[in-house]
Amino acid sequence: VFVSAAVASILHADLDAFFASVEQRDDPQLRGRPVIVGPGVVLAASYEARAFGVRSAMGGRRAHELCPDAIVVAPRFSTYVRASRAVFAILDAAAPTVEHVSIDEAFLDVRGLEAISGSPAEIARRLRARVRQEVGLPLSVGVATTKHLAKVASGAAKPDGLLVIAAGDEQAFLHPLPVQRLWGVGAATAQRLRAHGIVTVGQLAALPEELVMGMVGRAAGRRLHALAHNRDPRPVRAGRGRRSVGSQRALGRGRRSPEALDAVAIALVDRVTRRMRAGARLGRTVVLRLRFGDFSRASRSRTMARPTAATAPILTVVRSLLAAERETIERRGLTLLGVTVTNLESSVTGAQLELPLDGHDPAALDTTVDAIRDRFGTSAISRARLLQAGDRAAPWRQPGDEG
């Protein structure tokens, strides 16, 4: 049994080349020209630059080789955040159920709005026009019966397009596409499938599920088989979505100095806040979880005056909660430390960002670090404190991570 709307009424709205488009919007001289938001790693490339093969995550030197005439501009994160908020205000007004995926991407469920707002295609057309007129940015929209297919459709609609996959047309659209277009198929999975002669989604869909699981593993195989048949049970979830974001780390039985514990705390907070920012979530309550050497457990929490996803204020709370437990930790030993942020809300709808958005913007540091890690992996950049403590940023992928 799977959930699939009878009518194609799930929208995936995605801003095109977001950072680069904002730069072109604000500087007429950049319009129609190859623009790279850098410097150094390519954070975004305009479609004119992409025509030369420039891609996000590419090194600056390689990008320059491919497109020596590209104009490289420094990122202006607070401007991007403002633009994102303006776009989300338009999206939020268009449907009762809007799921914020990231700073430039959302799902909308427009089921049952026909009488008030028109067909899903009409709603999508109006959204694109409003975002263009009121925020000055190109928004591509895919419309389909499932989230997965809506996202594939918005990708196929780019740049600045709208693509509606009507109910019943799903297989005809999906099957000729390369398997890489399916959610979760990266280079490694694609290569494994190619070794079995599977290149298109249609070839994959023709195989029994067991065979696919044999090629790529049980969980991935089950998912790919379902997606190839456009089975995606995930509903669009309104704004709030996840209730908490947390991470924990087992410490073993050896004693740790306060400095070493602080390094662990920094790593955990870094990990948690990064995921909050990636999901456009702010949180108010910080929970510290402790397991002591005698297997007893404790959790301590504090609620902040205002919600945030910034590393610094959350780290400050974690440090003070940890300091209050110092005596117990020294007496019993500490075998596990966890940090969870709860009371989450969307960062784009209700809440004000707690940091000033103009002038010197400390949030830009977090965002830059996130961008670099997104491109190069989590170990590409670390805090000097972690290196000094001899504790690399490696333990990010903890089995104890929530959600």
Binding site for Mg ion (CB under 5 A): 14-15, 104
Q: Min. distance of Cβ 375 from Mg ion in angstroms?
A: 15
Between 45 and 369, CB nearer to Mg ion: 45
Tokens representing residue 351 in the block:
């809440």
Residue type, 386: L
Q: State phi, psi for 109 to the nearest 5 degrees.
A: -105, 110
Across the beta sheet with 97-102, the strand order is 97-102, 105-109, 10-15, 139-144, 162-164
Separation CA 247–CA 129 (nearest Å)? 41
Residue 69: other Cβ atoms inside 10 A = 10
Separation CA 403–CA 396 (nearest Å)? 14
Q: Which residues are catalytic?
A: 105
Q: Min. distance of Cβ 14 from Mg ion in angstroms?
A: 4
* β-strand pairing of 162-164 with 139-144: parallel
Name the residue among 81, 70, 66 with its Cα closest to residue 38. Answer: 70
Between 30 and 103, CB nearer to Mg ion: 103
Distances (CA, A) of 254 to 271, 296, 385: 23, 16, 21
Q: State phi, psi for 395 to the nearest 5 degrees.
A: -75, 40
Tokens representing residue 238 in the block:
């309104």
Sign of the C-alpha dihedral computed for residues 38, 42, 44 and 49 taken in this order: positive
Distances (CA, A) of 230 to 74, 108, 171, 384: 40, 18, 7, 46
Distances (CA, A) of 292 to 32, 134, 241, 252, 338: 61, 55, 32, 10, 12
Quick check: 344 and 244 in contact, CB under 8 A?
yes
Between 14 and 391, CB nearer to Mg ion: 14
Between 21 and 308, CB nearer to Mg ion: 21
Q: Min. distance of Cβ 268 from Mg ion in angstroms?
A: 29
Tokens representing residue 163 in the block:
């693509």
Between 18 and 396, CB nearer to Mg ion: 18
